[in-house]
């Protein structure tokens, strides 16, 4: 008897055990954002003045919003169905065009229009697709997606007006567009006549959102590894360049450790078990992962600066990118871990790391510190955080040392 053809996959996922697995298509989609993060890192390396920092922040916020909303969409939409696959591939193409325009998005001419137009097309088009996908099986979710689409429509005129306005006007208008979009979730996407979002609209797989966010952290960490390896490969090995290479790698490894050793796992467990997974995903993953990723991207810029000029004192750009990036990273991570702490406490290890980094910045501004030495001291601050936190999660250091006879209990 011939095998019967398999039924076509539905448009929406069937969450089994509350968890939706990340698919190969989603990982393929993420490859474009590897390129986008590289583009932003290079932009910040070239435009390292205060204006360039603001422009890079605007570009990063737009890229993050495009990615995280697609991650939310695939929490409901089934990537194994043909229509959803086509939507993802179309979103991937739009994201690729968006990434290509990043280096010249603030220049006069075509690139700004292309950036604004592609971004609006991606956000509005994907959200309207979700309105259609959810219309039958999840009408409440479809109505919610319509509200979200209208918020994107409301911000679109400011994107296009900014593209047509040079200089500070573009920064102001694009900043206003982002303020509208980032304010949407906080206002529960309230729309006159359509109401506002409720907890029932965000019946998500918490584990899926947690896994997607952790994968984006890996993308950002990968940028630092690529910068370090490619720059070192093109230079002649010297003692300063080897020391810089090791300092950059150790810094990336410690950031991975601090995020993934316990934080990512505990966050995933917390959101997977919580009845209000949507609320947690909005705060801990949609908003609080922004500074985590942004800080990592800034450290990649520091890696590029250090590997390009490993000799001599630490320049202000290196100080700002290395220590500033780590301060942003640890601040975001501390707030993220506080979100699932039983007592809502900020981790003391992270606060100690922040104090060390601020002290290091002040010292570097007063006394010249070799560039490699500054990077190494930044890694020492991260090492303190990692060791402190690891000991805290594994019973504390005093009991461990006492069991080994190294100190008295």
What is the band of 343 on the pLDDT scale with cuts at 50, 70, 90? Answer: confident
Query: 39, 103 in Cβ contact below 8 A?
Result: yes
Q: What is the pLDDT of residue 2?
A: 47
The CA distance from 8 to 6, in Å, is 6
Domains of the chain (ranges, CATH numbers)? 24-201 (no CATH), 206-402 (1.20.1410)
Q: In terms of pLDDT, which residue wins out, 280 or 118?
A: 118
Q: What is the mean pLDDT of residues 384-406?
A: 69
For residue 108, the surrounding DSSP H or E stretch is: none
Helix (H, G, I), strand (E, B) or coil at 16: strand
What is the band of 355 on the pLDDT scale with cuts at 50, 70, 90? Answer: very high
- What's the mean per-residue pLDDT of the chain? 90
Lowest-confidence pick of 218-222, 247-251, 347-351, 394-398:
394-398
CA torsion through residues 104, 102, 151, 188, sign: negative
The CA distance from 346 to 333, in Å, is 10
| pLDDT at residue 326 is higher than 70 | yes
Cβ-based neighbours of 162, under 8 Å, separated by 6 or more = 112, 116, 169, 170, 171, 172, 173, 174, 177
What are the CA-CA distances from residue 283 to residues 31, 66, 133, 267, 325 (Å)?
25, 17, 25, 12, 21
Q: What is the pLDDT of residue 235?
A: 83
Q: What is the pLDDT of residue 73?
A: 95
| pLDDT at residue 404 is higher than 90 | no
Q: 3-state SS of the chain: helix, strand, coil percent to 5? A: 75, 0, 20
What is the band of 14 on the pLDDT scale with cuts at 50, 70, 90? Answer: confident
Q: In terms of pLDDT, which residue wins out, 409 or 222?
A: 222
Q: In terms of pLDDT, which residue wins out, 343 or 295?
A: 295
Lowest-confidence pick of 60-69, 176-185, 388-397:
388-397
Helix (H, G, I), strand (E, B) or coil at 247: helix
User: And the tokens for 150?
Assistant: 């209208």
pLDDT tens digits along 197-210: 887 778 788 889 99
Q: What percent of the chain has pLDDT over 90?
A: 73
Helix (H, G, I), strand (E, B) or coil at 55: helix
| pLDDT at residue 85 is higher than 50 | yes
Lowest-confidence pick of 97-106, 117-126, 264-273:
264-273
Q: What is the pLDDT of residue 1?
A: 42
Q: How many CA atoms are closer than 13 Å to the CA of 126, on its beta-carbon side?
A: 28
The CA distance from 380 to 176, in Å, is 39
Q: In terms of pLDDT, which residue wins out, 113 or 10?
A: 113
Question: What's the CA angle centered on 259, arms 254 and 265, to 5 degrees?
Answer: 135
Angle between helix axes 348-366 and 371-393 (nearest 10 degrees) is 170
Instruction: Please return the burial class of 139, using the count of CB atoms within 10 Å of its CB with bins 0-12, 13-18 and 19+.
Output: exposed
The CA distance from 366 to 313, in Å, is 12
Q: What is the mean pLDDT of residues 214-228?
A: 94
* Closest to 219 in 3D by CA, of 409, 372, 39: 39
What is the band of 3 on the pLDDT scale with cuts at 50, 70, 90? Answer: low
The CA distance from 389 to 383, in Å, is 10
Q: What is the pLDDT of residue 15?
A: 62
pTM: 0.92
Q: What is the pLDDT of residue 408?
A: 53
| pLDDT at residue 16 is higher than 70 | no
Q: What is the mean pLDDT of residues 354-362?
A: 97
| pLDDT at residue 8 is higher than 80 | no
Which residue, chain included where needed, has tokens 């989603």? 26
Helix (H, G, I), strand (E, B) or coil at 191: strand
**How many helices (H) does the chain have, and how many strands (E)?**
15, 0
The CA distance from 321 to 296, in Å, is 10
What are the CA-CA distances from residue 75 to residues 31, 210, 263, 271 (Å)?
18, 11, 22, 14
Q: What is the mean pLDDT of residues 388-393?
A: 83
What is the band of 278 on the pLDDT scale with cuts at 50, 70, 90? Answer: confident
Q: What is the mean pLDDT of residues 320-348?
A: 93
Angle between helix axes 289-308 and 50-76 (nearest 10 degrees) is 130
The CA distance from 41 to 99, in Å, is 12
Query: 347, 334 in Cβ contact below 8 A?
Result: yes
Which residue, chain included where needed, has tokens 């583009």? 39
């Amino acid at each position: 008897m011939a095998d019967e053809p398999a039924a076509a996959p539905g448009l929406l996922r069937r969450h089994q055990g509350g968890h939706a697995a990340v698919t190969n298509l989603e990982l393929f989609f993420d490859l474009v954002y590897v390129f986008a993060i590289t583009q932003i890192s290079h932009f910040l390396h070239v435009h390292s003045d205060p204006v360039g920092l603001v422009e890079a922040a605007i570009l990063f916020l737009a890229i993050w919003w495009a990615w995280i909303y697609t991650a939310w969409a695939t929490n409901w939409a089934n990537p194994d169905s043909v229509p959803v696959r086509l939507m993802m591939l179309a979103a991937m193409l739009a994201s690729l065009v968006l990434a290509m325009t990043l280096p010249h998005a603030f220049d006069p001419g075509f690139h700004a229009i292309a950036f604004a137009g592609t971004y609006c097309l991606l956000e509005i088009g994907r959200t309207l697709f979700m309105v259609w996908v959810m219309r039958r099986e999840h009408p409440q979710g479809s109505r919610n997606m319509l509200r979200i689409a209208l918020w994107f429509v409301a911000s679109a005129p400011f994107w296009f007006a900014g593209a047509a306005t040079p200089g500070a006007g573009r920064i102001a208008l694009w900043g206003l567009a982002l303020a509208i979009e980032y304010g949407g979730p906080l206002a529960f996407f309230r729309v006159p006549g359509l109401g506002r979002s409720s907890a029932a609209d965000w019946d998500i797989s918490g584990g899926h959102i947690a896994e997607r966010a952790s994968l984006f952290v890996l993308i950002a960490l990968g940028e630092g590894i690529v910068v370090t390896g490619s720059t070192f490969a093109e230079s002649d090995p010297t003692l300063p360049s080897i020391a810089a290479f090791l300092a950059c790698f150790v810094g990336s490894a410690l950031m991975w450790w601090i995020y993934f050793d316990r934080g990512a796992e505990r966050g995933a467990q917390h959101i997977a078990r919580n009845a209000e997974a949507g609320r947690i995903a909005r705060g801990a993953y949609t908003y609080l992962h922004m500074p985590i990723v942004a800080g990592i991207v800034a450290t990649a810029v520091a890696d590029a600066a250090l590997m390009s000029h490993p000799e001599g004192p630490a320049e202000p750009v290196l100080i700002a990118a290395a220590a500033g990036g780590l301060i942003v990273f640890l601040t975001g991570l501390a707030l993220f871990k506080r979100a699932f702490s039983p007592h809502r406490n900020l981790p003391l290890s992270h606060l100690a790391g922040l104090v060390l980094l601020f002290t290091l910045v002040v010292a570097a501004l007063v006394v010249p510190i070799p560039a490699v030495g500054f990077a190494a001291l930044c890694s020492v601050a991260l090492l303190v955080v990692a060791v402190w936190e690891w000991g805290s999660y594994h019973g504390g250091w005093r009991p461990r040392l006492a069991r080994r006879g190294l100190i008295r209990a």
